[in-house]
Amino acid sequence: MISIDAEPQPSDLGDVRVANRAVVLRHVRLHAPCSRADIAAHTGLNKATVSSLVTELIDRRLLRETGLTENRIGRPATMLVLDGSRYASLGAQIEADELVVVAVDPAGSRLLTWRRAATAGAPGDTVRALAALARRAVGRLTAQDRTVLGLTVAVPGLVDAAGAVPLAGALGWRDVPLAADLRAALRDPGIAVGVDSAAHLAVLAEQRYGGHAGTTDLVHLTGGVAVAAGVIAGGRLLRGSRGFAGAIGHLGLDESGPPCECGRRGCLTALTGLPAVIRRLLPDVDADGPPTDLLPDLERLHVLARTGDAGVHAGLADVGRDLGRGIAVLANLLNPEAVVLGGHFATLAPWLLPAARSELAARTYAPGAGGCRVDASTLDRIAPALGGATAALSTVESGRLPAG
Amino acid sequence: MISIDAEPQPSDLGDVRVANRAVVLRHVRLHAPCSRADIAAHTGLNKATVSSLVTELIDRRLLRETGLTENRIGRPATMLVLDGSRYASLGAQIEADELVVVAVDPAGSRLLTWRRAATAGAPGDTVRALAALARRAVGRLTAQDRTVLGLTVAVPGLVDAAGAVPLAGALGWRDVPLAADLRAALRDPGIAVGVDSAAHLAVLAEQRYGGHAGTTDLVHLTGGVAVAAGVIAGGRLLRGSRGFAGAIGHLGLDESGPPCECGRRGCLTALTGLPAVIRRLLPDVDADGPPTDLLPDLERLHVLARTGDAGVHAGLADVGRDLGRGIAVLANLLNPEAVVLGGHFATLAPWLLPAARSELAARTYAPGAGGCRVDASTLDRIAPALGGATAALSTVESGRLPAG
């Protein structure tokens, strides 16, 4: 295997302890319940090291003993699982028409899922509304004796390294210092705040909780007003040099196609984004109307499709073909194991997927589309918020223990 | 920074030694000449560890002392550099019309560069020709008292994990077990053989030796008969789940465009590949003729461009625009710091780049094309072979010492 010029990490004692905590926590997350001996056997760490780390992690309420013992030859072993009871992390999702807040615990259990209709307008209004929801969530979790590790917010647009939003067409935002504004709004009660693109966070959630969990080469295609791709390659999120990777919503598929908010014609978003699908298939609807009608219109479309409306079926097959053209670009360039479709693509998947898969197979250079599968997300349109909550766990999962 | 679900590596003593050798070698490669104290200071390794590793690496003729001492306060320090004298590695490049073989030493010096006209036909003929060249190169290097660490061969097409070639349209190859055939042909003198795609290897060479050396998010677009992209993201080569990443040669840019060997119309290759450029700009030429005419025709075109032929200038601007559309897809999806153009794109760069850059800026969603630069490769059309030679060094560079 050709090695690349990534910087090899020197090993000194402090880093080793942190790294080994991460190894133990990850092993338990993936294989619980498991014994100390199992951890040592699988990870190559020696038993004394494992014992010492497990003692520390139990003391910090990140692991717990279940009291179960395995049926095995020899001395019974106490089994370990992640302890989800002491901490929580928050994720949020800003959409054109709603706010979503979720909380998870370190064991991966969902603690709360809130959706609030909220038309995105001035960033300041969104910051206020989101901060209020976040404060209420923190209060709820604190009352359960949990420490909230942080909040990461998903934005349907470009997010730079400082957590600012240079451009989010779906919200009509340009140059919004979102992370700074949220941190100011949440100084009391002092939650650690991160901001990232919805596409990046959604693919993290898919890799953690979705139908293709654990896949090392995976793409999540967000639906909604803004179509974008989150990419995991070689097991790691592909951010690009400025964090702007995945912006394929304005990939030009048809120069003579419908106009797009980006100024061009026939982009992937203009052909397959939610307003475009509604406009194409429900001609009576004013699809340039307020975003508050998007979800009800999607539901109408869904009902028509489910009840066998031939026009809607044919229209969705057309949209599926356009979607398949976009997916073929991803398959050719990235050769992923799977492309997972989120947002309205997931809702309408049964009527989109056949045409999308067929177009993908026809347009991918590698035989058999290079093995690329296309499936609907199972994360119920909240993959970005779930990914945010997972991201907010990253400090602990990388072996750095929270204060106190 | 959000941590991803890449498997954290446990630290045990054997791996630590190997990893630390890699750290020392990499530091010297990037910062030579440097002292043992410099290595310790920059890498965080303690001085005793560094001393021990340096002694071992000098003994194995991978490092050497230069005898220079720095002007600094205190005791003079002996400086270290990579020792290139003991080893060599080979890279090769199979093209439609030539074979290229290069050798480098571990210090990065080029030891030989051979180009042989050779029309790619039956794979068996190419294997024989390449094996003969490789044997001759090994003989030359062995006569210099060097041990040849291995050979990695670049193919303009898809290469799977076993080193077989499912598809290489540029050569007319399908399902060729190239690595197996080469290994059989080179059993005497027993060179370790690897095979990889030209696009992957070219971007490795760019990252090591090119004008954007060290960039963590970089794309190399090969020219020639087959247009493909090699991608480095987050410092690592992006291979995809089966190694087929980067196959954008058949990205559809214009449904009504010229037909392509892949069966579709208006692909990036059909618009900007070398035969297409010759066909568009030298209409008297039979561009479906033998590939042996490609380089002479390219040279004719180059002369016409250099001497100010207005028709050729206008034609190259058109090609540049199409190229820019393809580069915009890369910029949108990958957000690289730079896209480097190889092959004939590099030769014709002065007349392609202005239109390409302009089209890129217009079609990238992020402002300022997300910072993406477009430049010609400085590696004289042999980036794939150079990348192969670099790849064949990877065992040593990752800290595993060659036998004996």
Same domain for B367 and B289: yes
Longest dimension (CA), chain A: 73
Interchain CB distance below 8 Å, A2 and B204: yes
Q: The CATH number of the domain where B24 resides is what?
A: 1.10.10.10
B111 close to B141: Cβ distance less than 8 angstroms? yes
A229 neighbourhood in chain B, CB within 8 Å: 333
Indicate if the alpha-carbon torsion angle B346, B351, B355, B361 is positive or negative: positive
Using a CB-CB distance cutoff of 8 angstroms, which residues of chain B are in contact with residue A8?
A: 19, 22-23, 26, 398-399
**How far off is chain A from B304, nearest CA to CA, in Å?**
33
**A-chain residue closest to B236, CA distance:** A4
Collect all residues of chain A within an 8 Å Cβ-Cβ radius of residue B16: 11
Q: pLDDT-derived band of residue A3, with 50, 70 and 90 as boundaries? A: very low
The packing angle between helices B349-363 and B310-334, to 10°, is 40
CA distance A310 to chain B (A): 28
Give every CB contact of residue A217 below 8 A, 6+ residues apart in sequence. Answer: A232, A233, A234, A334, A335, A336, A337, B240, B241
Q: How many domains does chain B have?
A: 3
What number is the ipTM of this complex? Answer: 0.91
Which residues 6+ apart lie within 8 Å of A26 measured at CB?
A: A397, B5, B7, B8
B398: chain A residues, CB-CB within 8 Å: 3, 8
Burial (CB count within 10 angstroms: exposed 0-12, middle 13-18, buried 19+), residue A291: buried
User: Quick one: B111 and B196 in the same domain?
Assistant: yes
Q: How far is B242 from chain A (nearest CA, A)?
A: 7
CA distance A46 to chain B (A): 8
d(CA A103, CA B90): 54
Please, which residues have CB within 8 angstroms of residue B74's CB and are 6 or more apart in sequence? Answer: none
The pLDDT-based confidence of A11 (bands split at 50, 70, 90) is low
Q: Which of A82, A102, A120 is the last residue of a domain?
A: A82
Of A315, A302, A317, whose CA–CA distance to A354 is shortest?
Answer: A317
Average predicted confidence (pLDDT) for chain A = 91
**Which of A204, A240, A334 comes nearest B370 by C-beta?**
A240
Domain boundaries, position A137: 87-202+384-397
Which token pair is B357?
């850059």
Tokens read off for B140: 């030359």
In B362-386, which positions are buried (b, 16+ CB within 10 angstroms) versus exposed (e)?
A: ebbbbeebbbbbbbbbebebbbbbb
Q: DSSP secondary-structure letter at B392?
A: T
Residue A363 lies in a domain: yes
Query: Confidence class of residue A294 from pLDDT cuts 50, 70 and 90?
Result: confident
Quick check: is B6 in a domain? no
Task: Mark B288-298 as b/e (b = at least 16 C-beta within 10 Å).
Answer: eeebebbbebb
Amino acid identity at A273: G
CB contact under 8 A, A10 and B397: no
Q: Could you report the per-residue pLDDT of B4-54, keeping only the tens digit for each?
A: 334 555 555 678 899 999 999 999 999 999 999 999 999 989 999 999 999
Rounded Cα–Cα distance for residues A138 and A144 (Å): 10
A78 and A112 housed in the same domain: no
Contacts of B206 in chain A (CB under 8 A): none
**Alpha helices (runs of H) in B249-335, residue ranges in sequence order:** 268-272, 274-281, 294-306, 310-334
Measured between alpha carbons, how far is B234 from B337 in angstroms, rounded to an integer?
11
Q: Which residue of B has its CA nearest to A5?
A: B235
Residue A333 CA to residue A327 CA, distance in Å, equals 10
Q: With cut-offs at 50, 70 and 90, classify the pLDDT of residue A254.
A: confident
Question: What's the pLDDT tens digit per position in B328-360?
Answer: 999 999 999 999 999 999 999 999 999 999 999
State residue A1's pLDDT score: 31
Comparing alpha-carbon positions, the chain B residue that sits nearest to A40 is B10
CA pair distance B161, B184, nearest whole angstrom: 18
Phi, psi (rounded to 5 degrees) for A296? -60, -40
Closest residue in B to A10 (Cα–Cα):
B20
- Nearest residue, CB atoms, B6 vs list A3, A236, A366: A236
Close Cβ partners of A239 (under 8 Å, ≥ 6 residues apart): A200, A245, B234, B335
| Predicted local confidence at residue B1, as pLDDT | 31
Inside any domain, residue A57: yes
The pLDDT confidence band at residue A286, using thresholds 50, 70 and 90, is low
Residue B352 and residue B232 share a domain: yes
Whether residues A196 and A229 fall in one domain: no
B20 and A7 within 8 Å at the Cβ level: the answer is: no
Chain B positions touching A166 (Cβ under 8 A) are: 366-367
**Amino acid found at A245:** A
At B209, which amino acid appears? Answer: Y
Which one of A335, A363, A398 makes the best mutation probe of the B interface by having the most chain B beta carbons within 10 Å? A335
Question: Using a CB-CB distance cutoff of 8 angstroms, which residues of chain A are in contact with residue B45?
Answer: 10, 12
Is the same domain home to A226 and A359? yes
Q: Which of B8, B194, B333 comes nearest A246 by C-beta?
A: B333
Optimal mutation site among A29, A159, A365, A386, interface B, most CBs of chain B within 10 A = A365
* Beta-carbon pairs below 8 A across chains A and B: 242
Test B262 with A365 for CB contact under 8 angstroms.
yes
Contacts of residue B238, Cβ cutoff 8 Å, sequence gap at least 6: A233, A234, A238, A334, B231, B232, B245, B246
d(CA A93, CA A105): 18
Q: Rounded CA gap, B251 and B267, in Å? A: 5
Q: Which residues in chain B are contacts of A44 at CB distance < 8 A? A: 10, 12
Residue B278's CB: how many other CB atoms inside 10 A?
21
State residue B118's pLDDT score.
86
Asked whether residue A208 is assigned to any structural domain, the reply reads: no
pTM of the model as a whole: 0.91
DSSP string, A223-275: -SSS--EEEEETTEE---SSS-TT--TT-BS-TTS-B-TTS-BSBHHHHHSHH
Q: Which residues contact A261 (CB under 8 A, 6 or more apart)?
A: A169, A269
Contact A239 B367 (CB under 8 A): no
Whether pLDDT at A188 is above 80: no
pLDDT along chain B (404 residues), means of 10: 42 77 95 93 91 95 85 80 95 94 96 91 94 96 95 97 94 96 88 95 95 93 93 97 95 84 87 93 74 84 96 97 96 98 96 98 94 95 96 92 76
Is the torsion defined by CA of A30, A31, A36, A37 positive or negative? Answer: negative
Select the residue from A149, A334, A390 to test the B interface by mutation, using most B Cβ atoms within 10 A. A334
Q: Which residues of A44-64 are buried (b: 16+ CB within 10 A; e: fewer)?
A: ebeeebbeebbeebeebebbb
Residue B132: alpha-carbon gap to chain centroid: 23
pLDDT digits (tens, 9 = 90+) for A119-149: 888 999 999 999 999 999 999 999 999 999 9
CA B273 to CA B170: how far, in whole Å?
10
Q: Do B46 and A233 touch (CB under 8 A)?
A: no
User: What pLDDT was estimated at residue B291?
Assistant: 63
> Please, are residues A198 and A155 in contact by the beta-carbon 8 Å criterion?
yes
Its sign, for the CA torsion A47, A50, A52, A58, is negative
Query: How far apart, in whole angstroms, are the C-alpha atoms of residue A245 and residue A230?
Result: 8
Where residue A90 falls among pLDDT bands split at 50, 70, 90?
A: very high
Burial classification of residue A358, based on how many CB atoms lie within 10 Å of its CB (0-12 exposed, 13-18 middle, 19 or more buried): middle
The C-alpha atoms of residue B195 and residue B206 are separated, in whole angstroms, by 18
- What does the pLDDT look like over A260-284, one tens digit per residue? 877 888 899 999 999 999 999 997 8
Which DSSP helix (H) or strand (E) runs through B263? none
Residue of A nearest to B261 (CA): A365
Task: Clarify whether residues B234 and B166 are in a common domain.
Answer: no
If asked whether residues B243 and B262 sit together in one domain, one would say: yes
Specify if A28 maps to a domain: yes
Is the residue at A207 inside a domain? no
Asked if A12 and B46 come within 8 Å (Cβ–Cβ), the reply is yes
- Of the three residues A62, A82, A102, the one that is the final residue of a domain is A82
Contact A240 B262 (CB under 8 A): no
Among chain A residues, CA nearest to B175: A367
Chain A CB contacts of B20 below 8 Å: 10-11
Are A238 and B238 in contact (CB < 8 Å)? yes
Predicted pLDDT of residue B3: 33
B192 lies in the same domain as B44: no
Is B360 contained in some domain? Answer: yes
Closest CB to B365: pick one of A234, A238, A247: A247
Residues A95 and A37 in one domain: no
Cα(B11)–Cα(A396) distance, rounded to whole angstroms? 19
B43: which chain A residues are within 8 Å (Cβ-Cβ)? 10
Give the minimum alpha-carbon distance from A269 to chain B in angstroms, rounded to a whole number. Answer: 12
Mark yes or no for CB contact B196/A2 under 8 Å. yes
What chain B residue is nearest to A399 in terms of C-alpha separation?
B8
Cβ atoms within 10 Å, residue B153: 31
End-of-domain residue from the set A51, A82, A113: A82
In this structure, are B258 and B296 located in the same domain? yes
Preferred mutation among B38, B53, B333, B400 to probe A, highest tally of A CBs within 10 A: B333
Q: How far is it, in rounded angstroms, from Cα B396 to Cα B394?
A: 5
Tell me the C-alpha distance between A395 and B117, whole Å.
56
- Contact (CB<8Å) B26/A8: yes
CB within 8 Å: B333 and A248: yes
Q: Are B127 and B270 in a shared domain? A: no
Question: Does residue A183 form part of some domain?
Answer: yes
Hey, are the CB atoms on A252 and B325 less than 8 Å from each other? yes
As a whole-number percent, the residues of chain A with pLDDT over 70 amount to 93
Contact A240 B336 (CB under 8 A): yes
Residue B338's CATH number: 3.30.420.40
Nearest by CB to B366, which of A6, A7, A166?
Answer: A166
- As a whole number of angstroms, the distance between CA B212 and CA B202 comes to 13
Q: pLDDT value at position B310?
A: 96
